[in-house]
Amino acid sequence: MAKTSTEQYRTSKKSRDKHVEDNSPGGKYAHSKKYKKEHAAARESLKIKSRGVDASKQPDGSYKAESRKTNRGRGGRLRR
């Protein structure tokens, strides 16, 4: 029978450490102040006000307004 997540974190030090790190302030997706400042400026210049739209960084370094769903979903397993 499979372990529950609670049992997994209790018995596996590696899993527990990752879980603690992910759930601590900052978490999985902590970004630097520089990154957040750049991204906020891009959102402002693209006139993005909706939560469903994201400023997607392009390979050439520019930003483009794009659906958040599309932006987050791109790559999937190939990005790992």
Output 2 or 65, whichever has higher pLDDT.
65
Instruction: Give the pairing of strands 53-57 and 63-67.
Output: antiparallel
pLDDT for the residue numbered 78: 56
With a cut of 80, say whether residue 1 has pLDDT above it: no
Please count the CA atoms within 13 angstroms of the CA of 32 that sit on its side-chain side: 3
Residue 13 and residue 22: Cα distance in Å, rounded? 14
For residue 27, is pLDDT > 90?
no
Q: What is the pLDDT of residue 74?
A: 73
Q: In this prediction, what percent of the chain has a pLDDT beyond 90?
A: 36
The pLDDT of residue 10: 92
